[in-house]
Amino acid sequence: MPDWLAILVLILLAALALQILRRARLRRQEKTWLPPELAGATLAYAEQEFRIEQPFPLVARVDRGYLAGGMIYLLELKTRRAPRVYPSDIIELSAQKLALGASGQRVSDTGYVLIQEPGTRRFQITRVRLMDAQRIAALARRRKALLFGDTPPEAARHAGLCRKCAYLAECPSPRVGR
């Protein structure tokens, strides 16, 4: 066997070994946060976009959708220092459920918010109950009414949100002093 061919074979074998090791490391890492009920699930969607026209024109991109028992379980990734789930996470996942459900796929009422601590490989997963289609449609109608000036907007629930807001100077009545 010529030397160059032996070197090429060695490089390919080394790359193959690296690939196997990487996959094993990723699988181990995934096992640390994947909930037991999704342990045997198939990953059906990753960064998949869904578009619907009814009950209102909506576009949603699913971070991950796992298929288990003929049902899709949605998972949303967030990077946060505190492993806290916010109402906006539930709304986002529920809108994804509405968009994906319209394609004829059965989607579970249970979703997951996976929180990654920034700059680390530490994850924490939280199971959440998703909102139904009527509530999401009502939210979309309210948003439209807000934008048309038909209804007054509500302020942020927490002062902390105002403190970090880029529109603090222009906000008519923030919860914190400027």
Distance of alpha carbon 34 from alpha carbon 140, whole angstroms: 32
Minimum Å gap between C-beta 74 and other proteins is 10
Distance of alpha carbon 117 from alpha carbon 146, whole angstroms: 34
Shorter beta-carbon distance to other proteins: residue 69 or 153: 153
Minimum Å gap between C-beta 134 and other proteins is 14
Shorter beta-carbon distance to other proteins: residue 99 or 107: 99
Two structure tokens written together for 168? 């603090």
Q: Give the closest residue to 57 by CA, choosing from 140, 145, 131.
A: 140
Applying CB under 8 A, the residues found at the interface with other proteins are 12, 15-16, 18-19, 22-23, 26-27, 29-30, 42-49, 51, 53, 56-61, 63-64, 77-79, 86-92, 95-96, 99, 116, 118-119, 136, 139-140, 142-143, 146-147, 153-156, 161-162, 164-167, 170-172
Q: Which residues in the chain belong to E strands, given as ranges? A: 42-52, 58-68, 71-79, 110-116, 123-129
Minimum Å gap between C-beta 54 and other proteins is 11
